[in-house]
């Protein structure tokens, strides 16, 4: 039972923000939220406050540890044997907040791994330390003190995150609460990495990625930090959209790489600047990650995948995009973003049209399925019959769906709705039916609408589309080269510092040494191998925590 006391007064003492106690087998946690603390949370980047754990209070003594690595000013690590009781108490107090940097939350007791953890806790708790792989955790800071008998102990931890071992942690609490297991003989090994706050957002996701091995993890789980998102965000902030008919001002499409970015950007702006921001980035031109995946998968003619839900659709998109990025990242350029915005215009127009249609109002239900199947059907039919594609660049230029295309969608949508609602007798749930390839095959076969002359001005030959994509990739590569030359000019005054950092991190090679020497002399005439060596060096310096000049 969590008890939170709200007050508009100011709490003079910050200690004991969260306390716990047990009464009649029930655990209570008490927390005071005063006005000052509320403002701190409101103004924080994440919308939550750091996790500060005082181990001397929870554990009544410092937690013995073994320093394992301290070869860098930005990183240190410790090996710790954490008592099960202590770990359960910490997780009971903070819950999923401890797992924010983990790639998944608790998978309940259903997986074989988690069942095994709970069985060990109940039946052979003394062997838990031997059988379990332990935890990988990070913190932005720790305080240590000498303990009786010699050695070092951790007295407090700041911003604790369990990046691998969330299943172990939650299973221990589950075993205690649900199975009434005795944790007095349970100990968990923990590798604690203390990372400088300045590089924690870059380093912690990598620790999470490389440490998670016990349960199967898809690459898509990590896709939210993929450079694809950074590229889309960068393009969206600089690329103006053509003015819509009747409007003089150009606007921009806002790609939200991280949840809440759109609101955060304007949250603390004065009223005048907020209006200016909203005029530049209208709310109806916001694209979030899961919507991007929905549009792309729909236009890839896989509406049954879209119907699996936002998460599974996103993971499917992420897997394919991650593979494509590795092959050729220049595919994701300004042309790609313009087409993406055009797809958003089409998808949203169809969604609005269906919602307002009389036929839909008379038989509501499955709007999301009708919309994705309608768009996918038309895209597929145009490609199969006409060897063409929708003229997305023209939709971008007009910032609107052409009237002829609207009329075809209006004819197709009710027929699509009729087909998907006419599920086979052995499938009672239409929503589940829409998730199957069988449904998509039936829609492709059963919906019959002419897409001949009516779409003549709305489609372009596939060969033209492919040629445009090639041109966009070439342009992207040229732009990247220009951007890199500009970066080299900025780095010229810092060439010695870069050389020292490269040597310190063991990253220097003959090629990048020659390149750095040239850059320092103001000579940007680098050979291809020298340029590649410089790009590789700068990427690896970033990974090591070195901050390049803006």
**Percent of all residues in the chain with a pLDDT value above 90, rounded to a whole number:** 35
| DSSP letter, residue 92 | H
Task: Name the residue among 427, 437, 445, 301 with its Cα closest to residue 374.
Answer: 301
pLDDT digits over 420-479, tens only?
999 888 888 999 999 999 999 999 999 998 887 778 889 999 898 889 888 988 888 888
Q: Which residues contact 527 (CB under 8 A, 6 or more apart)?
A: none
| Amino acid 276: pLDDT | 92
Neighbours of 325 (CB within 10 A): 17
- Phi-psi region at 387: left, alpha or beta (left = phi > 0; alpha = psi -120 to 50): left
pLDDT tens across 404-419, in order?
999 999 999 999 999 9
CA nearest 294: which of 275, 318, 329?
318
**How many CA atoms, within 13 angstroms, populate the side-chain half-sphere of residue 248?**
0
Cα within 13 Å of Cα(438), Cβ side: 10
CA distance 496 to 60: 50
Element (H, E) at 67: strand 63-72
What was the pLDDT predicted at 372? Answer: 97
Q: List, as own/partner pairs, every contact residues 317-320 make where C-beta atoms lie below 8 angstroms and the sequence separation is at least 24, other chains included.
A: 317/292, 317/293, 318/219, 318/220, 318/223, 318/226, 318/293, 319/218, 319/219, 319/220
- DSSP H or E stretch at residue 161: strand 161-164
Asked if 235 and 218 count as a contact pair (C-beta separation under 8 A), the reply is no
**Can you tell me whether residue 374 is helix, strand or coil?**
helix
Burial of 307: CB neighbours in 10 Å, binned 0-12, 13-18, 19+: buried
DSSP 12: S
Q: Is the dihedral of CA 209, 258, 289, 250 positive or negative?
A: negative
Q: Identify the pLDDT of residue 199.
A: 60
Partnered with residue 64 across adjacent β-strands are 153
Note the pLDDT of residue 108.
47
Give the pLDDT score at 522: 80
Residue 450: its pLDDT value, please? 85
Q: How many helices and strands (H and E) does the chain possess?
A: 24, 17
| pLDDT at 531 (0 to 100) | 83
Q: What is the pTM assigned to this prediction?
A: 0.58
Contact 433, 423 (CB under 8 A): yes
157 contact partners, CB below 8 Å, separation of at least 6:
51, 52, 53, 55, 139, 141, 142, 192
Angle between helices 528-543 and 200-211 (to 10 degrees): 90
Residue in 373, 226, 368 with CA at minimum distance from that of residue 291? 368
Q: What is the pLDDT of residue 221?
A: 42
According to the model, what pLDDT value does residue 106 have? 47
pLDDT number for residue 548: 65
What count of other Cβ atoms lies within 10 Å of the Cβ of residue 535?
15
pLDDT at 216: 47
* Res 297: pLDDT: 97
- Given a contact cutoff of 8 angstroms between Cβ atoms, the answer to whether 384 and 412 are in contact is no
User: Could you tell me whether strands 286-288 and 254-256 are parallel, antiparallel, or unpaired per DSSP bridges?
Assistant: parallel
Low-confidence ranges of the chain (pLDDT < 70): 13-19, 43-49, 69-74, 100-114, 197-225, 543-550
- CB neighbours (10 Å) of residue 401? 20
């Amino acid at each position: 039972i969590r008890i939170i006391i709200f007050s508009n007064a100011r709490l003079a003492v910050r200690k004991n923000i969260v306390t716990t106690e047990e009464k009649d087998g029930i655990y209570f946690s008490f927390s005071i939220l005063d006005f000052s603390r509320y403002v701190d949370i409101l103004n924080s980047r994440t919308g939550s406050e750091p996790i500060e754990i005082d181990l001397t209070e929870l554990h009544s003594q410092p937690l013995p540890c073994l320093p394992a690595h301290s070869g860098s000013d930005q990183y240190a690590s410790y090996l710790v044997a954490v008592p099960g009781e202590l770990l359960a108490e910490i997780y009971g107090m903070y819950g999923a907040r401890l797992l924010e940097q983990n790639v998944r939350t608790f998978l309940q007791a259903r997986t074989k791994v988690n069942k095994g953890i709970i069985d060990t806790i109940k039946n052979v708790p003394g062997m838990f330390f031997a059988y379990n792989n332990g935890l990988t955790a990070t913190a932005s800071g720790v305080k240590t003190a000498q303990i009786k008998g010699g050695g070092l102990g951790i007295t407090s931890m700041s911003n604790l995150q369990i990046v691998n071992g969330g299943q172990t942690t939650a299973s221990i609490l589950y075993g205690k609460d649900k199975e009434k297991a005795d944790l007095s003989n349970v100990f968990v090994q923990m590798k604690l990495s203390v990372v400088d706050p300045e590089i924690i957002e870059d380093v912690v996701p990598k620790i999470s990625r490389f440490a998670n091995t016990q349960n199967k993890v898809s690459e898509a789980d990590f896709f939210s930090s993929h450079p694809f998102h950074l590229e889309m965000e960068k393009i969206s902030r600089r690329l103006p959209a053509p003015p819509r008919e009747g409007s003089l001002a150009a606007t921009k499409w806002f790609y939200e790489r991280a949840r809440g970015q759109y609101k955060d950007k304007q949250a603390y702006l004065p009223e005048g600047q907020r209006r200016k921001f909203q005029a530049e980035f209208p709310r109806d031109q916001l694209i979030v990650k899961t919507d991007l995946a929905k549009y792309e998968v729909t236009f890839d003619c896989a509406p049954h995948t879209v119907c699996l839900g936002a998460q599974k659709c996103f993971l499917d998109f992420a897997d394919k995009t991650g593979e494509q990025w590795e092959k050729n990242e220049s595919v994701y350029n300004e042309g790609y973003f313009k087409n993406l915005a055009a797809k958003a215009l089409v998808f949203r127009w169809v969604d609005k049209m269906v919602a307002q249609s009389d036929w839909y109002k008379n038989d509501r239900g499955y709007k999301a399925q009708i919309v994705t199947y309608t768009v996918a059907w038309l895209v597929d039919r145009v490609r199969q019959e006409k060897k063409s594609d929708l003229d997305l660049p023209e939709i971008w230029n007009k910032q609107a769906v052409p009237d002829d295309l609207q009329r075809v969608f209006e004819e197709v949508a009710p027929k699509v709705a009729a087909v998907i609602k006419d599920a086979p007798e052995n499938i009672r749930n239409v929503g589940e039916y829409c998730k199957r390839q069988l449904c998509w095959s039936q829609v492709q076969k059963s919906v019959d609408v002419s897409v001949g002359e009516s779409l003549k001005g709305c489609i372009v030959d596939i060969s033209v589309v492919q040629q445009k994509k090639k041109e966009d990739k070439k342009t992207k590569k040229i732009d990247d080269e220009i951007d890199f030359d500009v970066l080299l000019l900025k780095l010229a005054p810092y060439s010695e510092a870069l050389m020292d950092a490269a040597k310190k991190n063991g990253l220097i090679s003959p090629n990048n040494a020659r390149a750095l020497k040239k850059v320092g002399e103001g000579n940007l005439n680098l050979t291809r191998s020298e340029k590649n060596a410089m790009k590789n060096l700068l990427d690896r310096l970033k990974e090591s925590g070195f901050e390049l000049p803006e």
